């Protein structure tokens, strides 16, 4: 069965033109509420679409005065803010290329990326961010760096002589809106001009610099428009970083549709952002897992009969709303679930949420069933940096499937290699990589992009992504194991906070699991063997898999993956090679003794 996402094209085909269009259609409407980091009393700044367009024009005027020209690059090393996007879009209007870098990166990787980018201008979020670049600033200046923008003044001693500096106040001071001038610049920038240079997560090596053109991003929001069914009355909570393509997808769709965003700069402020009553969230699944865990902990704290009723009611509601059960008992329990659990979840999400959108990593089917059971649509999308963030999506106002990546956009031509790798061709693809060597083997001879993902279309036309080709484990028995679905099943079950399968070239599968230190301490206090106790729970969590795919040994790592910065990428994906180095002899120890019970 062949099916694709419904498409409705935006008339403007570059982002700078969409800025102008939004300012003309809804000049006085609030676009952004930016919550400054900090306590609940920290300032909230509101910008209309006209205000935002004014900022883009002023950014473009400043960049031009700083010598930024078509084909040159900006290095963007800062947390999310309206000014981040104003500078980025101002650069795009000049046909320059913004390069987004995670501000959470340490100095060494930041310096390495900066050397590769060779920026004309750097935007840093604070003097502390500039301190990461300062040691290589003379080298960057010799390579073309002419100016640095920072919200606060930089110490002159930290800046090489001759390098211009400016604060955000200096950049954005000036005359009022010159929409015609901005429009003239925007009209000169075509669909193949730069949109963004973004870096991959680097789970298997050096992050690749992905060059995304205007054409790809506009096609991505074309594909998302009807799939996510957001409109001018919506208000989204925005917190995914602009160094991640998903953060741009949400921002650009809001701009094109003229709906509002509550923007926060750090995840610690999510609760504060929810107090503004957004109608939807777009997040990686980890945030939703934390919400589910908090609610389930609250339910577990209820008196035993009420707690048992709540669990039974949510399970029944999932059978009704996900599986289509018509049993009278299930329908009654669904109403109980709405009152006992659903009401609390909606209140926790701010009271107005109409839908949750997930991307950036696969979501566990159990997570999908939890929110759908409570009548909150859970819409999973799938894409990657090289496809401007979109390959396929489930439908907010239509069919959704647990564990599914949804249906593909018609802007991709799909086929599958003999080994199951998904291949794509079409207008959402990158224009190339920053370095030519990264393009080697990235495309087939007839122009299909090799995603590296093993996938298939099911009988109903939904895309099922089964794992990364590079992650495939080949056991010494000849059996092949795709680890991601099993890791997801374990990581989404209590008390696990993440899992990585091991076993390449070994006779059976083991796993490294992340578990809160207080949980392991509780097991020790109860006189239990931690690894053995958790192994049974892990095997139970993946009981739907074949026996050879289920782990027979465990190594337990205290805490969550994000508690070990050296093991994760900025998007919190575990780096397998770093994990193996971290575990060292512990991996060999798993296989040295006589094989444990299955």
Q: Which of 68, 89, 87 is nearest to 78 (CA)?
A: 87
**Alpha carbons 424 and 410: distance in angstroms, whole number:** 11
Residues with Cβ within 8 Å of 593's Cβ and at least 6 positions away in sequence, in order, are: none
CB 64 within 8 A of CB 94: yes
Q: Is the dihedral of CA 306, 308, 314, 317 positive or negative?
A: negative
Element containing residue 479 per DSSP (H, E)? none
Q: What are the tens digits of pLDDT across the range 289-335?
A: 889 988 888 888 889 899 999 999 999 999 999 999 999 999 999 99
Give 86's pLDDT tier (boundaries 50, 70, 90). Answer: very high
Q: Between β-strands 97-100 and 194-199, what pairing exists: parallel, antiparallel or unpaired?
A: parallel
Q: Which of 439, 258, 409, 283 is nearest to 349 (CA)?
A: 283
pLDDT in the model for residue 597: 41
Residues, the chain: 598
CB 569 within 8 A of CB 575: yes
pLDDT greater than 50 at residue 594: no
DSSP 192-211: TSEEEEEE---TTSSPPEEE
**Alpha carbons 280 and 443: distance in angstroms, whole number:** 36
Give 469's Cβ-side CA count (13 Å radius). Answer: 14
Looking at the chain, the whole-number percentage of residues with pLDDT higher than 70 is 97
pLDDT in the model for residue 392: 98
Q: What are the tens digits of pLDDT across the range 161-215?
A: 999 999 999 999 866 567 888 999 999 999 999 999 999 876 666 889 999 999 9
For the CA atoms of the chain, what is the radius of gyration? Answer: 25
Q: What are the tens digits of pLDDT across the range 10-37?
A: 999 999 999 999 999 999 999 999 998 8
DSSP 347-376: HHTTS---EEEE-SSPPPHHHHHHHHHTT-
Residue 235: φ, ψ to 5°: -135, 120
Tokens 């499937």 appear where?
401
Looking at mean pLDDT, say which of 119-123, 181-185, 362-366, 522-526 comes out highest.
Answer: 119-123
**Alpha carbons 276 and 349: distance in angstroms, whole number:** 10
pLDDT greater than 60 at residue 536: yes
Q: Which domains does the chain have, with CATH numbers?
A: 15-279 (3.40.50.980), 285-351+353-469 (3.40.50.12780), 472-592 (3.30.300.30)
What angle in degrees, to the nearest 10, is found between the helix axes of 530-541 and 483-491?
110
CB 406 within 8 A of CB 362: no
Q: What is the 3-state secondary structure (H, E, C) of 219-251?
A: HHHHHHHHHHCCCCCCEEEECCCCCCHHHHHHH
Task: Tell me the average pLDDT across 585-594.
Answer: 80
Question: What tokens were used for 80?
Answer: 């999310």
pLDDT greater than 80 at residue 39: no
CB 247 within 8 A of CB 237: no
**Alpha carbons 215 and 13: distance in angstroms, whole number:** 7
Question: What tokens were used for 284?
Answer: 């990686």
CB 310 within 8 A of CB 335: no
Question: What tokens were used for 165?
Answer: 């500096």
Tokens 């509002």 appear where?
260
pLDDT greater than 90 at residue 572: no
pLDDT in the model for residue 205: 67
pLDDT in the model for residue 177: 61
Q: 499 by DSSP, 3-state: which?
A: strand
Element containing residue 454 per DSSP (H, E)? strand 449-457
pLDDT greater than 50 at residue 474: yes
pLDDT greater than 60 at residue 120: yes
Give 2's pLDDT tier (boundaries 50, 70, 90). Answer: confident
Task: Tell me the average pLDDT across 527-535.
Answer: 89
Mean pLDDT, all residues of the chain: 93
**Alpha carbons 112 and 199: distance in angstroms, whole number:** 12
Give 369's pLDDT tier (boundaries 50, 70, 90). Answer: very high
Q: Which of 414, 474, 483 is nearest to 449 (CA)?
A: 414
pLDDT greater than 70 at residue 505: yes
State the virtual CA torsion across 124, 129, 133, 135 in degrees, nearest 10: 140
Task: Tell me the average pLDDT across 274-297.
Answer: 92
Residues with Cβ within 8 Å of 280's Cβ and at least 6 positions away in sequence, in order, are: 228, 230, 234, 235, 236, 237, 353, 354, 355, 356, 357
Q: What is the 3-state secondary structure (H, E, C) of 45-97?
A: EEEEHHHHHHHHHHHHHHHHHCCCCCCCEEEEECCCCHHHHHHHHHHHHCCCE
Tokens 């997801």 appear where?
488
CB 372 within 8 A of CB 322: yes
């Amino acid at each position: 069965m062949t099916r694709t996402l419904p498409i409705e094209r935006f008339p403007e085909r570059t982002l700078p033109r969409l800025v102008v269009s939004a300012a003309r259609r809804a000049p006085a409407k609030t676009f952004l509420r930016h919550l400054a980091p900090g306590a609940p009393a920290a300032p909230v700044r509101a910008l209309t679409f006209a205000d935002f367009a004014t900022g883009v024009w002023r950014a473009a005027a400043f960049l031009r005065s700083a010598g930024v020209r078509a084909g040159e690059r900006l290095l963007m090393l800062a947390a999310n803010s309206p000014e981040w996007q104003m500078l980025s879009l101002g650069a795009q209007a000049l046909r320059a290329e913004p390069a987004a870098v995670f501000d959470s990166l340490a100095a060494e990787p930041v310096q390495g990326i900066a050397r590769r980018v060779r920026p004309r201008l750097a935007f840093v979020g604070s003097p502390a961010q500039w301190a990461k670049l300062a040691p290589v600033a003379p080298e960057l200046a010799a390579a073309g760096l002419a100016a640095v923008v920072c919200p606060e003044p930089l110490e002159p001693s930290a800046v090489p002589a001759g390098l211009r500096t400016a604060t955000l106040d200096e950049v954005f001071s000036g005359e009022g809106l010159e929409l015609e001038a901005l429009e003239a610049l925007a009209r000169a920038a075509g669909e193949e001009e730069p949109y963004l240079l973004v870096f991959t997560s680097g789970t298997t090596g050096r992050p690749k610099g992905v060059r995304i053109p205007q054409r790809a991003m506009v096609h991505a929001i074309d594909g998302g428009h009807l799939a996510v069914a957001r409109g001018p009355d919506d208000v989204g909570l925005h917190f995914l970083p602009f160094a991640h393509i998903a953060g741009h997808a949400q921002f650009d769709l809001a701009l094109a549709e003229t709906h509002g965003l509550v923007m926060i700069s750090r995840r610690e402020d999510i609760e504060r952002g929810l107090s503004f009553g957004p109608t939807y969230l777009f997040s990686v699944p980890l945030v939703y897992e934390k919400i589910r865990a908090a609610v389930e902990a609250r339910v577990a704290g209820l008196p035993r009969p009420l707690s048992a009723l709540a669990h039974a009611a949510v399970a029944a509601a999932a059978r009704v709303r996900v599986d289509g059960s018509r049993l009278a008992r299930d329908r009654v329990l669904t109403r109980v679930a709405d009152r006992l659990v659903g009401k609390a979840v909606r209140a926790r999400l701010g009271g107005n949420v109409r839908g949750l959108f997930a991307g950036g990593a696969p979501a566990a089917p159990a997570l999908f069933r939890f929110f759908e059971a409570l009548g909150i649509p859970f819409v999973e999308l799938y894409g990657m940096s090289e496809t401007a963030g979109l390959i396929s999506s489930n439908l907010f106002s239509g069919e959704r499937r647990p564990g599914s990546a949804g249906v593909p956009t018609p802007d991709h031509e799909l086929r599958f290699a003999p080994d199951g790798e998904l291949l794509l061709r079409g207008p959402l693809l990158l224009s190339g990589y920053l370095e030519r060597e990264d393009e080697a083997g990235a495309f087939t001879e007839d122009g299909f992009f090799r995603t590296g993902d093993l996938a298939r279309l099911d009988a109903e036309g939904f895309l099922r992504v089964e794992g990364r080709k590079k992650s495939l484990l080949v056991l010494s028995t000849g059996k092949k194991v795709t680890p991601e679905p099993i890791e997801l099943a374990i990581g989404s079950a209590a008390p696990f906070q993440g899992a990585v399968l091991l076993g390449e070239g070994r006779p059976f599968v083991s796993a490294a699991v992340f578990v809160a230190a207080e949980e392991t301490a509780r097991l020790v206090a109860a006189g239990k063997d931690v690894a053995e106790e958790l192994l049974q729970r892990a095997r139970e969590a993946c009981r739907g898999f074949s026996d050879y795919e289920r782990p027979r040994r465990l190594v337990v790592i205290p805490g969550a993956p994000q508690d070990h910065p050296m093991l994760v990428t900025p998007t919190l994906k575990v780096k397998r090679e770093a994990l193996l180095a971290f575990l060292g002899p512990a991996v060999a120890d798993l296989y040295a003794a006589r094989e444990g019970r299955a």
